[in-house]
């Protein structure tokens, strides 16, 4: 039940946020919204309030908002009295705003979730050393349990993430640590060596052989908001970096996961506690925002690309060019869906149901 419930709640919330972004901005800009659907047909429940039909459908892998007059190639006749409410009658900037609102709402939702999470007590580890591993550069340099790292090469640090990041990014480069020990400040010089373990991108990082003490920092209101925004930026960078490395061929397509893995992760995170589930919800919301902005026809980014071209050539992209672009976009999406399902099933068959950390 945890897997089913976690999957439905996670996708349901993220799809609602995404489609609500399109919906509310369309309403604010005077566009008539014909349908608002969570899920794809067959329809489970539908009700009409005002001019919009709201639907809840059985297949929870997406959703859509149908706007009045949204297709530039449509032969649908638009009554003169409603022309101002048609999507295609709006200026380019307004149409771009409506389309971009979905990914934007997903990103803002993730930021809000993470800020609330840090306000509620998301753990932030202090830059205090718990131990120095035997025969490690840290042990040889003189690090001791209880040392609090205050700065690295003169740059102030206070959270363990800062310490780890600077060490990982500096293999074979001498670093000077400013350390507070028993109320006194001292400096320790140490050179990180390349780790024998690869990170999630298959790269070797620097290490000196220290572990955190586990001491947590209590954040005030402003500090929690700042941490939520900072961590949102970090997750966004992580998603973008993954896409860039995929395009460059630096990581393989086996790194891609699909709905089955999302269902597993949502169930595991729900069993692990609310904090874990909120973190996963935030991360996938950012994924959804970034992926939807890719310039692939049928995705929001593809529509934005059409609008940018229209702004340059002073007329909408219609006819055969648009038709071929949309068909190509659909082929790409179908291929990616098939690929991630294959990856999910192959992983389960070869490695079992359990997810790696």
Structure tokens at 44: 């489970």
Angle ∠(296,300,302) on CA atoms, nearest 5: 30
Quick check: helix, strand or coil at residue 295? Answer: coil
Residue 80: other Cβ atoms inside 10 A: 7
Query: For the chain, first and last CA: distance in Å?
Result: 21
> How long is the chain?
357
Residue tagged active-site, from 2, 19, 77, 187 = 19
Beta strands in 184-234 (DSSP E): 184-190, 193-198, 204-207, 210-212
For 71: left if phi > 0, alpha if psi spans -120 to 50, otherwise beta; the answer is beta
Quick check: helix, strand or coil at residue 68? Answer: coil
Helix and strand element counts for the chain (H, E): 9, 10
Greatest alpha-carbon pair distance for the chain in Å reads 81
Q: Does 70 participate in catalysis according to the annotation? A: no
Residue 124: other Cβ atoms inside 10 A: 19
Query: Residue holding tokens 């032969």?
Result: 75
For β-strands 148-152 and 175-181, DSSP reports them as antiparallel
Residues assigned a catalytic role? 19
């Amino acid at each position: 039940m945890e897997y089913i419930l976690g999957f439905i709640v996670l996708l349901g919330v993220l799809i609602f946020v995404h489609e609500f972004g399109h919906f509310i901005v369309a309403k604010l800009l005077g566009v008539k919204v014909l349908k608002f659907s969570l899920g794809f047909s067959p329809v489970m429940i539908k009700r009409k309030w005002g001019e919009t039909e709201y639907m809840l459908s059985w297949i929870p892998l997406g959703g859509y908002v149908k706007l009045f007059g949204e297709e530039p190639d449509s032969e649908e006749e638009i009554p003169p009295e409603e022309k101002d409410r048609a999507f295609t009658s709006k200026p380019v900037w307004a149409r771009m705003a409506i389309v971009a609102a979905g990914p934007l709402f997903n990103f803002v939702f993730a930021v809000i979730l993470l800020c609330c999470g840090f306000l509620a007590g998301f753990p932030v580890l202090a830059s205090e050393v718990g131990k120095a591993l035997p025969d490690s550069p840290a042990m040889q340099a003189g690090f001791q349990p209880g040392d609090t790292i205050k700065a690295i090469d003169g740059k102030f640090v206070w959270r363990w993430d800062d310490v780890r990041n600077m060490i990982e990014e500096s293999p074979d480069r001498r670093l000077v640590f400013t350390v507070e020990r028993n109320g006194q400040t001292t400096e320790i010089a140490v050179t990180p060596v390349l780790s024998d373990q690869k990170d999630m991108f298959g790269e070797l990082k620097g290490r000196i052989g220290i572990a955190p003490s586990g001491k947590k920092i209590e954040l005030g209101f402003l500090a929690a908001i700042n941490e939520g925004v900072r961590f949102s930026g970090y997750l966004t960078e992580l998603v973008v970096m993954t896409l860039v490395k995929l395009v460059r061929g630096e990581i393989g397509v086996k790194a891609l996961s699909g709905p089955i893995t999302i269902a597993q992760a949502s169930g595991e995170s729900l069993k692990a506690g609310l904090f874990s589930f909120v973190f996963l919800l935030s991360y996938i919301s950012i994924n959804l925002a970034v992926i939807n902005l890719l310039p692939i026809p049928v995705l929001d980014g593809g529509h934005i690309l059409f609008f940018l071209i229209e702004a340059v050539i002073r007329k909408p992209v219609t006819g055969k060019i648009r038709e071929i672009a949309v068909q190509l976009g659909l082929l790409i999406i179908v291929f990616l869906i098939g690929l991630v399902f294959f990856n999910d099933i192959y992983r389960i068959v070869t490695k079992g149901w359990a997810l790696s950390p």
